[in-house]
Each structure stands twice: as structure tokens, then as C-alpha cells.
Amino acid sequence: MLKYLVRRISATLVVLTLISMSVFLIFDVLPMDPARLTCGKACSPAVVEANRHRLGLDVPVQVQYGRWVKGLFVGRTYGEGQAEFTCPAPAFGYSFNRHECVTDLLKRAFPVTLSLAIGAFFLWLFVGVSLGIVAARFKNRWPDRASNVFVLVGTSLPTFISGILILLFVALKFGFVNPIDLGKWVSPFENPLGWINTFIFPWITLALAYAATYTRFTRSNVIETSSEDYIRTARAKGLSEKVILRKHTLRAALAPIVTLAGLDFAGLLGGAIITEGIFNLPGLGRLSIRAVLNDYDLPIIVATTMLAATFLVVMNLLVDILYAYIDPRVRVA
């Protein structure tokens, strides 16, 4: 197991390094000048060059990348003389449009996205897996048909449609949410009820689409596993259906869901852009979209892109480790 862990962690570090290099290269070749966008229409060439120097864009891309990596570990200093200031580690850059360290922006946006992701994750996992198990146990009967209707509705409605419908006809029409408080961040440690009130409808919006996929996936896995030889042997030994389902069928059928769940959760941590936009949540998704559409804030774009990629890669590592624990045969692969 130790060799497997070392091998997977090493591969993860290599992948993260390649991703960071690719991100810097992609944004370097784009036909945009971030230094020009940091000043107004009447900006002189001298001011543009000064901004380019302040942004650190007046050096080759490999030097920019080296400074960025170094800043993640020891922080980074910007400006000169009396205008000098430092962004502490991990320094993802400095937004001259917002006049803030990017790390500070991420610290404010990440708890919102994390709250959205955690709540939606547990909701869709509970609903999807439960409905899938029930549908498999009552195959071709009314619970199975009812779950098929749920799957059809959940997979047919895009998130932006279901989110708007929930917001307009449920949250606002019946007064469950005050429009003034819509998207207002409340810490779960200070006001748990206010936190739930803020995120309950975004959770339902995301869980509706994901739970439909998990219902169908769980149902097919449980049905397929139930036809295996060792399951028939367990029945022949006289074990009850509940014991067979709990100790044999579910352990094998739900193992592939670990991979799917881990990657879906990591994708949400990267920013549920549509849902955050509908419910006015100040998370990573809205932060990155505004950085792209409003002012092409390169440090924010690079930081959110790298953060989303890191979530996916690290979660993939954790899924592989958990999968190896569930199925020891994976360790020799």
C-alpha cells in the first residue's frame, strides 16, 4: 500500500506541475494585454509600461511562472520603494483592478462554494443512492417506474432552468427567501439556520440533476451485481435479502460510485457557476466569471483555473486511495 501511495502522489505532483505550466502558457499566448486593461481609455504608453512592470509581465513567461510558484511558498512582493507591498504565502497574485491580493479574494469566495458543494453533495448522494437501491429492489414495479420519472425530469431540466423555476415559483412566490437577503453569506458556525436558509434552494437545484444520474447509475449497478454467482451462492446458503444487500451487493455495487462522486464533488469546488449566478452567491464561480467578462483580471483567472484543476487532481488521488482500500487488486495495477 505504501508503494502505491508514493506512486500515486508522485504522479499527482507531476500532473499539477504540467497543468500549471499549461495554464501560464495558454494565457500568455492569448491576444490580450492585461497591462493595457488596468488603466482607462486615455492611458499613455508610459503608464501601460509601468503597469506591465508592476504586474510582472515585462519578463519572459518562464520567469513569470517561477515567480508565481515561489510566491505560493514564500509570498510575493509588488511595487517598489514606498509603494512596495507584500502578499503573504500562498500568494496567487495581486489584482490591480480590485487592489487586493488574490488570496484574500479566494478566502472570501471559497467558503461560499464549499458550503454549496458540501450540502448539494450529501443531498444528491443520499437521494440518488437511496432511490437507486429502492428501484433495483422493486424492479419493474411502481417504485422503479416512479424513479424513472424522477430520472427523466432530473436529466432533462438544465440547471439554469430548474434553478430559475425553484427561485421564482418556490422560494420567492411563497416567501421562503427574502429577495434582499438572496445570496447573503452567513457562516454556519454563527447562524446555522440562516446558513441553511441561504443554501437550501441552491442545494436542491444542484442535487436534482446529480441525484437523477446517481439513481440510474446505482440501480443498474445493484441489478448487475445481484446476478453475480456469489450473490446466488449467498441466497442458496439461506441468507436473508437484507443481509445480502447490506453485506454483499452494496459493497460491490457502490464501489464505482466512489469515483463518480469524488470527481463531481471536485467539479463543484471549482465553482458551480450557473447556480451561483442564479442565486447571487459570491463564490468562486462568480469571481472567475466577473474576472473574465468585466476586466480580464489575469491573476484571478489564473488562480481560479489552477484552483479548479487542483481540486480535480487531488480528489482523483483521494478516490484512487479509497478505491485501493476497498479493492486491494487496484494496488497492483
- The pLDDT tens digits for 167-184 are 887 767 777 777 776 778
Cβ atoms < 10 Å from Cβ of 206: 25
8 A C-beta contact, residue 133 and residue 250? yes
What CATH number does residue 157 fall under?
1.10.3720.10
Where are the extended beta strands (E) located within the chain?
Answer: 76-78, 85-87, 94-95, 100-101
Ramachandran angles phi, psi of 113, nearest 5°? -65, -40
Q: Is residue 7 part of a domain?
A: no
Sign for the CA dihedral angle at 50, 109, 210, 309 comes to positive
8 A C-beta contact, residue 167 and residue 214? no
**Could you list the residue range(s) of the whole structural domain that residue 253 is in?**
109-332
Q: Is residue 304 part of a domain?
A: yes
Q: Is residue 76 part of a domain?
A: yes
Residues 171, 55 share a domain: no
Residues 139, 36 share a domain: no
Residues 269, 217 share a domain: yes
Spatial separation of the C-alpha atoms in residues 205 and 209, rounded to whole Å: 7
> What pLDDT tens digit does each residue of the chain (333 aa) get?
777 788 888 988 999 999 989 888 887 777 777 777 767 666 777 877 777 777 777 888 888 888 888 988 998 887 677 767 788 888 888 887 788 899 999 999 999 999 999 999 999 999 999 999 899 888 888 888 998 899 888 888 888 888 888 888 776 777 777 777 677 888 888 888 888 888 888 999 888 888 988 998 888 888 888 877 777 887 787 777 777 777 777 777 777 787 788 888 888 887 678 888 888 888 888 888 888 887 778 888 888 888 888 888 888 888 877 777 766 655 555
Q: Is residue 43 part of a domain?
A: yes
Q: Is residue 276 part of a domain?
A: yes
Spatial separation of the C-alpha atoms in residues 115 and 185, rounded to whole Å: 10
Residues 140, 87 share a domain: no
Residues 200, 284 share a domain: yes
Q: Is residue 25 part of a domain?
A: no
8 A C-beta contact, residue 313 and residue 12? yes
Cβ atoms < 10 Å from Cβ of 231: 17
Spatial separation of the C-alpha atoms in residues 129 and 136, rounded to whole Å: 11
Residues 266, 155 share a domain: yes
Residues 39, 183 share a domain: no
Residues 159, 86 share a domain: no
Task: Round the CA-based radius of gyration of the chain to a whole number and report it.
Answer: 24
Q: Is residue 2 part of a domain?
A: no
Residues 223, 151 share a domain: yes
C-alpha grid cell for residue 319?
478516490
Q: How many domains does the chain have?
A: 2
Residues 288, 156 share a domain: yes
Spatial separation of the C-alpha atoms in residues 201 and 170, rounded to whole Å: 9
- The pLDDT tens digits for 246-285 are 777 777 777 778 778 888 888 888 767 888 888 888 888 8
Cβ atoms < 10 Å from Cβ of 187: 11
Residues 196, 54 share a domain: no
Element (H, E) at 122: helix 102-137
8 A C-beta contact, residue 182 and residue 199? no
